[in-house]
A and B are shown apart, each in its own frame.
Chain A
Amino acid sequence: MNNRLLTSRVLRVEPLTTTVFTLEMETDQPVSVQPGQFMMVEVPGHFLLRPFAPISCEGRRITFAIQRVGEGTEILAGLEPHTPLMLRGPLGRGFPAVEGPLVLIGGGVGVAPLLAVASQLEDHSGPVRAFLGFNRAADVILREEFERAGVETTICTMDGSLGYRGNPVAAATAEVPSGWTAFACGPQPLLQAVKGKFARVYVSLESHMGCGWGVCNACRVDRPEGRGTLKICEDGPVFDAEEVELK
């Protein structure tokens, strides 16, 4: 069974940039999260748990890369070691197992689940490249980790202060044949831009979540041509880009 309640404690919180930090937790029991799957993480003093996709997960150790965007993430950024936190998961469907050439396209903190993918590709049957986009050089995160995973990594910045100037979809489409498979995670415009550019495109979607495990119906995404809706937490968060409307 997947949807498990885990007790955990904070091992460390470390800043990566001025707004992004890593949160490393130790759980009471081993947990196995597939790349792209997520965990619901308790925010002390808040009612709803928040969804985050880990960058790594080994045995009882689980690490997230988190951007401070509001009240909840602000609190997580200030946690002291040993703070107990409730975790729930692993939840949802992650990136599928694919064969052949693969391109990872991430924007901002959206590179996080792609690092989990990159780290599990030792025996992959084709070339793998990563295009990671940020606003500026000071925002770049996890570059060494992607390289250590053996993935040829291209950094893109919107202001050109590091690497390719422009967004990572433009860089990837310029350098990678369209017959490859693409995994993408990041802001909605990035996901829209990558849809249709490669033979198969899988996108990881975000939504405000109530439960995270399929009962509250908060996390709606529409299927194309009025074919109804799906739940991001249960049917995703990773979807074949052709199966969902990217608004």
Chain B
Amino acid sequence: MSDLTTELCGLKLSSPLLTASGCAGYGQEFFQVVDSRCLGAFVTKSATLHPRDGNEGCRVAETPAGMLNSIGLANPGIERVMAEELDNLQGRNLPIILSIAGFSPEEYASCIRIAEAHGGFDMYELNLSCPNVGDHGLALASTPEGIRTIMSQVRGLTRRPLLVKLKPEVADIALIARTAQDCGADGLVCCNTYTGMRIDIARGRPVMAKCIGGFSGPAVFPMAVKNVFLVSQAVSIPVVGVGGIASARDVVEMMMAGASAVQIGAAALRQPEVFMKIHRDLEALLAKLRVERIQDIIGRVHRHD
């Protein structure tokens, strides 16, 4: 049997499969259908300093081989997340990655202070890249200056590992990734959703109330592989691959591109049982590829450059 353990910022993960922020809530509904032994860690829905209802009107749309969402970071706020929601995740022998989002560097800092006071989780994922809020979305991950500003405010507040979740649609993703590494990020999550739009042709109106939403699901997989390839080449810290993963084959491909672990979002929201299926299929696939330890394939493609 192949060894599926991997490592992320010093944390041993029993499986390379992680939830993607916003696609598994805070675990309450998720663990009614998913066996936690298939997972390496749980990533929470992004929490913000204040509770948010999110955007009005239609918040999801169908696309060929994927979906659009414009949820707008609906969440109960960091205080309630820490006090109430993390309960569902604790006691499962599963590392917890707390995703946080904000509208200014100060908000990220406040969230981290509150989270530190509560404890009960293992790592942070800084969502610097939600496309669904404000006029142009959270653009802090768009420029090296944005990354530097935020990291300078938050890095000193915690000794827990900090993952930075990157925005895929930027001029030079390798530059952003290197900047995050230089500013003290312990790992990168690559990437958040792309952007897209659909129109209801019968009514001649955008399907989603906010017009433009985050695009994810199997359709984005090749773009995600490319970004993980470019980013992992540019940095020495671990990269978590996310975008369109829906099968064991996709996991292997993403890890060969340079990912130390992967997150599964839209495919799991559609059918959460994919976690069990991929976990099963992964062992068979690795055996077929004669891979004993999944860690051995991380970044394999770079060794053939």
Contact = CB atoms under 8 A, between A and B. Distances in A.
A210 B60 CA distance: 6
Nearest to A207: B58
Interface residues of A, number: 30
Given A218-B69, A218-B71, A220-B56, 5 more contacts: A1-B33, A47-B67, A47-B217, A48-B270, A234-B29
B53 interface: yes
Contacts of B222: none
Interface in A178-216: 207-211, 213-216
Contacts of A71: 62
Interface string A45-61: 01111000000000000
B60 A216 contact: yes
B120 interface: no
A136 B60 CA distance: 32
A214 B243 CA distance: 21
A3 B32 contact: yes
Interface string B197-219: 00000100000000000000110
Contacts of B51: 228
A170 to B, nearest CB: 28
B238 interface: no
Interface stretch (B18-26, B161-169, B287-295): B18-26
A228 B76 CA distance: 9
Given A47-B62, A47-B270, A208-B60, A216 B29 contact: no
Given A3-B33, A229-B74, A49 B270 contact: yes
Given A47-B270, A217-B45, A222 B53 contact: yes
Interface string B33-77: 100000000000100000101101011111111110101001000
Nearest to B58: A208
A101 interface: no
A149 interface: no
Given A3-B32, A229-B74, A215 B62 contact: no
A163 interface: no
B271 interface: yes
Nearest to A69: B202
Interface in A1-58: 1-3, 5, 46-49
9 nearest CB pairs, A to B: A214-B29, A215-B25, A218-B60, A210-B60, A211-B269, A218-B59, A217-B74, A229-B53, A208-B58
A72 interface: yes
B30 interface: yes
A86 interface: yes
B23 A216 contact: yes
B273 interface: yes
Interface string B240-281: 000000000000000000000000001001111100000000
B120 to A, nearest CB: 21
Q: Which among A2, A49, A213 has the greatest number of chain B C-beta atoms within 10 A?
A: A213
Interface of B: 22-25, 28-30, 32-33, 45, 51, 53-54, 56, 58-67, 69, 71, 74, 202, 217-218, 266, 269-273
Contacts of B60: 48, 208-210, 216, 218
A117 B269 CA distance: 30
A79 B47 CA distance: 42
Contact of B65 (A5, A47, A228): A47
19 contacts: A3-B29, A47-B65, A47-B66, A47-B217, A48-B60, A48-B67, A72-B62, A211-B270, A213-B33, A214-B25, A215-B269, A215-B272, A216-B23, A216-B69, A216-B71, A216-B269, A219-B59, A220-B56, A229-B74
Contact of A216 (B22, B56, B61, B66): B22
Contacts of A214: 25, 28-29
A217 B62 contact: no
Nearest to B55: A220
B29 A213 contact: yes
Contact of B67 (A88, A210, A217): A210
B200 to A, nearest CB: 8
B183 to A, nearest CB: 31
Q: Which among A211, A219, A222, A234 has the greatest number of chain B C-beta atoms within 10 A?
A: A211
Contact of B62 (A46, A207, A216, A222): A46
Nearest to A222: B53
A48 B69 CA distance: 12
A229 B273 CA distance: 28
B51 to A, nearest CB: 7
Given A47-B66, A48-B270, A215 B54 contact: no
